[in-house]
Structure 1
Amino acid sequence: MTWINLGNPVPKQKFDKYIPYKWEISNGYIKLHEPEIFLPTPFSQVMFKRKSQRSFKTTSINHLSYLLWFTNRVKDYIDSDMGFPITLRPVPSAGAIHPIHILINSPYTDKWWRYDPFSHGLWPIIKENKYFLNVRKDCKDILDCNTASLILLVAEPKKTLSKYTDGTSLVWRDAGILLGNLALVSSYLDINFCPIGALLPKEIDNKRQLVTVGMAVFDAVEID
């Protein structure tokens, strides 16, 4: 076994300035609904019920909305000297940086969507879409996902590295925490959900600001 030592993360004495990746804004934004009623389900029941599912049904876009609202929405934020705000969300993140974007694809379309945690909505991906054309096909080598939606966790590592020396492991830990919470909330919402080990696509932008750090499949959602 070859173990890769990612170092010991330490906060920098002086933070580096980082300009976040600029996603192209286009028409087609979808505002998602916030949950109004919460099911009084004991947490222990959610924990006992959770397991990875490899068969998928059709679910409503509201279930997707609630999944994202419970796991990744921005509850509060403050400006920072790093060039981007630090945010309070339902899941923890090293330095409250939250460097990971959630991207979603429905089995009914080739279009990919990026979750906006500030506005709780979905933006269609435009200029990066070419990098995602083969993700669903390549996913078939691991799991039959023809009837499933796909989630990609795409990180901007330099956001975390702007604050931490040897901070790479923190990005991976953030990804694991987010993926685990997506799985738990899916159990609560009765969504079939399965994390997968692949990291697709291998390239997302030509400047390598973005990297895939997690993937999962879940019930089919018709987004548009």
Structure 2
Amino acid sequence: MTWIDLGSPVPRACVVPYELVRWPTGEIKRLPIGPTPQNHSYEQVLGSRQTQRDFRELGDEQLGELLWQACRSRESWPSPYGFDLEHRATPSAGAIHPIHMVLHLPGDRRWWLYQPQGHYLVEICGAAQLLEGLQLHSAELLEGSQAVHILFVAEPGKTLAKYQDGCSLIWRDAGALLAIIALTAHAHGLNFCPLGITGEPWASKLADQGKLIGVGLGLLGAPA
């Protein structure tokens, strides 16, 4: 067995301020605010959730409701690290939330960054070319032309501003976010399938400062 030791995270003795990545952004796409009430208990969702691999195209309302419930920022407050800390549905080490969600919508060449603070999508300029190889690779694993592709992109410098040996925390944050999305999708009657790939080597090219890394990819859609 090969095991990579990522170390045991501990808070740093001194604050190390971090400068957030600068995304090359364009058009803004507003999302509907939800959620629509669901008729499933938490126990029913846990007991019946399973991965689905067939997809139909989602409407903006369905996508907006899922992101509103699972991913939006509910509260934020200043920190000494160079960025705000946040309360979201997903647990995150130090309330830092270093995982970005980059979405590709069916019928649209562009990729969009989800902004949890304002609950909207913003176009990432040039991402279509940078992530073309990722789309081809994803299609080899699972055909999902009607699905929303969700690329999970970590900004490690946020977590590492507070924690020494904090890389394992970033992977745990990514897993927690994926799980919350999977459960929320099922509660909303949607299909979600996480793929095993990380999104590399394409995801890290989204910013020219070398501050991003791909940590996962999932497909989301309405039941086929």
TM above 0.5, yes or no, is: yes
Aligned ranges for residues 105-124 of structure 1 at < 5 Å? Answer: 105-124=104-123
* Structure 1, 34-43 or 101-110: larger mean CA deviation: 34-43
- Tell me how far 1:130 sits from its aligned partner: 2.8
Between the aligned partners of 2:187 and 2:15, the Cα distance in structure 1 is 39
Query: What is the distance in 2 between the residues matched to 1:180 and 1:69?
Result: 15
Aligned counterparts of 1:132 and 1:29: Cα–Cα separation in 2:
20
Given the two structures, how large is their TM-score scaled by the length of structure 2?
0.93
- Aligned partner of 1:219 in structure 2 is 221
| SS of match in other structure, 1:216 | strand
1:48 shift after superposition: 1.9
Give the structure 2 partner of residue 144 of structure 1.
143
SS at match of 1:190: coil
Match of 1:7 in 2: 7
Alignment of 1:1-80 (within 5 A): 1-26=1-26, 28-35=27-34, 37-80=36-79
Q: Is the contact made by 1:136 and 1:145 (CA closer than 8 Å) also made in structure 2?
A: no
Who is 1:162 aligned against? 161
- Pairwise CA RMSD of aligned residues? 1.4
Q: How far apart in 2 are the matches of 1:153 and 1:184?
A: 17
3-state DSSP of counterpart to 1:134:
helix
Alignment pair present for 1:81 and 2:80: yes
Runs of 4+ with >3 A deviation: none
TM-score with structure 1 setting the length: 0.93
Indicate how the Cα distance of structure 1 residues 129 and 171 shifts in structure 2: closer, same or farther if over 3 A, else same: same
Structure 1: segments with no counterpart, 5+ residues: none
**Do the aligned partners of 1:132 and 1:201 also contact (CA within 8 Å) in 2?**
no
Letter in 1 for 2:221: D
Tell me if structure 1 keeps the 8 A contact 2:98–2:158.
yes
- C-alpha contact (below 8 Å) 2:35/2:66 kept by paired residues: no
Give the match for residue 195 of structure 2. 196
- Which amino acid in 2 is paired with 1:216? G
**In structure 1, how many angstroms separate the alpha carbons of the residues matched to 2:179 and 2:105?**
21
Residues 131 and 201, structure 1, Cα contact 8 Å, conserved in 2:
no
Matches of 1:146 and 1:77, distance apart in 2 = 36
**Per-residue CA shift, 1:25-51, capped at 9, x if unaligned?**
32x211111115412321111112211
Q: Which runs of 5+ in 2 are unaligned?
A: none
Determine what percentage of the aligned residue pairs are the same residue: 37
Secondary structure at the counterpart of residue 13 of structure 1: coil
Matched residue, 1:206: 208
CA deviation profile, 1:138-192 (whole Å, cap 9, x unmatched) = 1122111222220001010010000000000000000000000100000001111
Deviation at 1:195, TM superposition (A): 0.5
Is this contact kept in 2: 1:87–1:96, CA < 8 A? yes
Q: Which amino acid is 1:208 matched to? A: G
Q: Say which is worse superposed, 144-153 or 200-209, in terms of deviation.
A: 200-209
